[in-house]
Amino acid sequence: MSTLNRTSSLILGVCIIIGLSSLGYLLGHAAIQYKELERTVTVKGLSEREYKADIVIWPIQFNIAGNDLEKVYDEIDNNTAKIKAFLEKSGIGANEISFSSPSIIDKSAQQYGNDSQAKFRYTATQTVTVYSKNIDLVRRVMENMSDLGKQGIVFTGNNYQAQTEYLFTRLNEVKPKMIEEATQNAREVAEKFASDSKSTLGKIKTASQGQFSISERDKNNPQIKKVRVVSTVTYYLSD
């Protein structure tokens, strides 16, 4: 009976050892496979294109100075009418032209500064704004502004508030193609890396899209916009 018990115990012990060995092998093999799955490469893909702006905002600002307030207002109205007539004659629609309320400064009412000896008591600023989708036409009209200057209108070209703006509003239209292009560019970079490292490119682990940026191509061509996006993609690698 004791001999039978010893034999059973021996067999049980051998089975346990074999079971533990098999379990260790399986766990080790699974760990190796998991480690292989975690081999990754992270790359960035760029898409950069140039587009023409589709809206122009052109503020035309001029100054008036005088000592008679009523005459200052009359001159503002006169100059505004001249500008409007000039723009419409040049092909800009009346619905594309707007006017701000004139800003009047009474120098004799200033609390600070020594304006008591100023030659003109009143200075006025008026802005006529063109908002148009016909950018080529507006830029041609800009080149002929000297015709208005010859009529005695004094423009304020260096004022920050009177700077011309060019807008690109079709971003949603170009997004899909640019995202596709950036992703494809990222994959090409990843495939080159995998090839150089004697690996095989696998599935995407993670992907993130950067923000789109819109900037002027250069200072001399603000109507040409450079649209840019960068996508970051992480791929699995395998041998």
Domain boundaries, the chain: 35-52+168-239, 55-167
The CATH fold assigned to 55-167 is: Alpha-Beta Plaits (3.30.70)
Would the pLDDT of 24 be above 50?
no
What is the rounded (10 degree) CA torsion for 50, 52, 158, 138? Answer: 160
Question: 147 or 166: which carries more pLDDT confidence?
Answer: 166
Confidence of residue 34 (pLDDT cuts 50, 70, 90): very low
The CATH fold assigned to 35-52+168-239 is: Translation Initiation Factor IF3 (3.30.110)
pLDDT tens for each residue of 152-187: 888 886 666 678 999 999 999 999 999 999 999 999
The whole-model pTM stands at: 0.74
Q: CA 32 to CA 203: how far, in whole Å?
A: 19
Would the pLDDT of 67 be above 90?
yes
Q: What is the mean pLDDT of residues 10-38?
A: 50
Confidence of residue 114 (pLDDT cuts 50, 70, 90): low
